[in-house]
Structure 1
Amino acid sequence: MENRKTYQLLDKKTLNKSYVRWMMYNLVATSFEFLEALGFAYAMQPIADKLYKENPEKRKNMLKRHSIFYNTEPQIGALINGVVCGLEEQKALGKSEIDDSFINSLKVGLMGPVAGIGDSMIPGMLIPILLSIGMGLSSNGSVLGPLFYIIFYNSIIVFGTRFLFFKGYELGAESVDLFVGKKAQKITQAFSLLGVIVVGGVAASYVNLNLPIVLDFGSSTIDIQQILDGIFPKLLPAILVIGSWYFMAKKGVSPIKMIAAYFILAFGGVGIAYLVQIFF
């Protein structure tokens, strides 16, 4: 760390520019061939300009190296960008143990572990928690719910990713130990489990599905929903959630098609319930 403070080519302005470019354009010009590669290369352009402003050929080679296939969870993945910035700086300073293949191997090697942790933390845990709080605040029609989600989500993402980016820059190759090995696997599993629990809690609290069917036999009535609740409370919402997961995760049905199907089923279900009430 002392060596970096003494011999430093990248200033804070350049690093900030690289960070902002990644967070704003990480999914720019995506394709199956490149995915986030062009966004990564665009974020590395200010770094290349600073390190090799007197050597256009090295600048071009650096940007070409970072234009190959790349894909990870972009928020937590900001740490990889910081690591690569630090390594590129050390390479430009002449560190013999840091070459092109070392940087590329480290970058590709971190993609999977960081994606596993990021997918567990952001869409698997953070977003469901914030959405559940926001839905609770909006249950009476208040605008506080969406405002809460917008403000808190963006604040956490902006400040969190910036911290990770600069921490990755400071750590350099040492950050590998945080994301590779048994400890990283345990962290990923823990966040995955927590995400499943959170999603389950949100589903149980906010997904409602009832059968408004009451069979009238003159001397007695049978409430179908009451019978189901006595056997298994929230059985229908659980079936709905599991069914949605199955069709989207296993059958590849898009969310738009699922919404359209539920829209049709809802109208059909109301019609069937109405006919049952008439005839029974």
Structure 2
Amino acid sequence: MKLQENLTKEDKKMLRSVFWRSWTMNASRTGATQYHAVGVIYTLLPVINRFYKTKSEQAEAVVRHTTWFNATMHINNFIMGLVASMEKRNSEDDTFDASSITAVKASLMGPISGIGDSFFWGILRVIAAGIGISIANTGSIMGAIVFLLLYNIPAFLIHYYALYSGYSVGANFIQRMYESGGMKILTKSSSMLGLMMMGSMTASNVKFKTILEVSVKGSDQVMKIQDYLNQLFIGIVPLTVTFLAFWLLRKKVNVNIVMLGIMVLGILLGLLGIC
């Protein structure tokens, strides 16, 4: 309750609305470039509508949050609270760097998810499931009920207080970051982190392995094309496909068309026995 002592009545009303809206955040998935963005915008609408008075300012804030976002449910509300505080500061200070809001979101996704995934999926859910299963083995329906209570009560409380924590510490956090020059560093590092994430995702998720073989005349040996591609540059085809997709997106080609084209290409190469 101490987190709410310095909040005004309007702040509390706004954060309550953000809290209930935030449960829908992970329900929206709108493609590779706007993952969960619709849910984030819906969650932050009470903040945007309160602090920005003109339609142009509100539209600018909405567009700012159309970027990719993904963090562990329940604890990701800390980021929403912090962002809400930064949006308030941005509406009051003309010298505030609005790009830092997106930078903070991007830089905190990894650390927040690291903590959240470990606790919620690796500890809380396992403990709750273990207790629930042991009770269910006796034939009691209480096993399922106990599991749901042991998991959801802590999750609900953390989801609630994470939002207020982020909003309450936001003002001091922003001031310290600006005074120390850390905001510029954070903005730069978040850009680097984004590039590293894209590179890691490309290496992990874009796969290509051809089964083409070329017979050597006068010999029983065959040349495997994939071996020569690996000698030339491991992952050269996936990298080329990624660069091509990125180039098409830069040319304003619809992301759905790019995804459909890659799917059709994969099916054709599979039917032709190339990969």
Tell me the TM-score normalised to structure 1 length: 0.56
Task: Specify the alignment match of 2:218 in structure 1.
Answer: none
Q: Which amino acid aligns with 2:124?
A: L
For the residue of structure 2 that corresponds to 1:60, the secondary structure is helix
Counterpart contact for 1:26–1:36, Cα < 8 Å: yes
Q: Specify the code of the residue in structure 2 equivalent to 1:125.
A: I
Change (3 A) 1:61 1:133: same
Q: Does 1:112 align with 2:110?
A: yes
Residues 123 and 173 of structure 1, relative CA distance in 2, 3 Å threshold: farther
The one-character-per-residue Cα deviations of 1:173-231 (angstroms, maximum 9, x if unpaired) are: 65699xxxxxxxxxxxxxxxxxxxxxxxxxxxxxxxxxxxxxxxxxxxxxxxxxxxxxx
Question: Kindly, what percent of the aligned residue pairs are identical?
Answer: 28
CA distance 1:9–1:140, change in 2 (3 Å): closer
- The 1-side partners of 2:145 and 2:6 are apart by 45
Partner letter of residue 88 of structure 2? E
What corresponds to 1:32 in structure 2? 32
Q: Secondary structure at the match of 2:27?
A: coil
Shift of the 104–5 alpha-carbon distance from structure 1 to 2, 3 Å rule, reads: farther
The 1-side partners of 2:93 and 2:162 are apart by: 26
Residue 87 of structure 1: how far off its partner (Å): 1.1
Deviation sequence 1:136-164 (CA, Å, 0-9, x none): 11111101110011122221111111101
RMSD (Å) for aligned C-alpha atoms: 2.6
User: Take 1:23 and 1:43, find their aligned partners in 2: how far apart are those partners?
Assistant: 8
2-structure distance, mates of 1:94, 1:8: 20
Q: Which protein shows a greater Rg?
A: 1
Mapped pair 1:158 → 2:156: yes
Worse-superposed segment, 42-51 or 32-41: 32-41
Q: How far, CA to CA, are the matches of 2:50 and 2:65 in structure 1?
A: 16
How far the C-alpha of 1:42 sits from its partner, in A, is: 1.0
Q: 2:35 touches 2:67 (CA, 8 Å); kept in 1?
A: no
For the structure 1 residues 72 and 174, does the alpha-carbon distance in structure 2 shift closer, same or farther, using more than 3 Å as the test?
A: farther
CA deviations over 1:222-257 (Å, ceiling 9, x no partner): xxxxxxxxxxxxxxxxxxxxxxxxxxxxxxxxxxxx
Q: How many residues align?
A: 172
1:177-196 correspondence to structure 2 within 5 Å: none
Report what 2:56 is aligned to.
57
Q: SS of the counterpart of 2:129?
A: helix
Partner of 1:147: 145
Instruction: Give yes or no for contact 1:136–1:145 (8 Å, CA) kept in 2.
Output: yes
Poorly superposed stretches of 4+, deviation over 2 Å: 4-11, 24-27, 29-33, 173-177
1:85 aligns with 2:62: no
Name the SS of the counterpart of 1:11 in structure 2: helix
For 1:9 and 1:60, the matched residues in 2 are separated by 26
Change (3 A) 1:11 1:174: closer
Pairwise CA distance, 1:24 = 2.8
1:47 is aligned to 2:11: no
Could you list the runs of 5+ residues in structure 2 that have no partner in the other structure? 177-275
Contact 1:10 1:89 in 2 (8 A): no
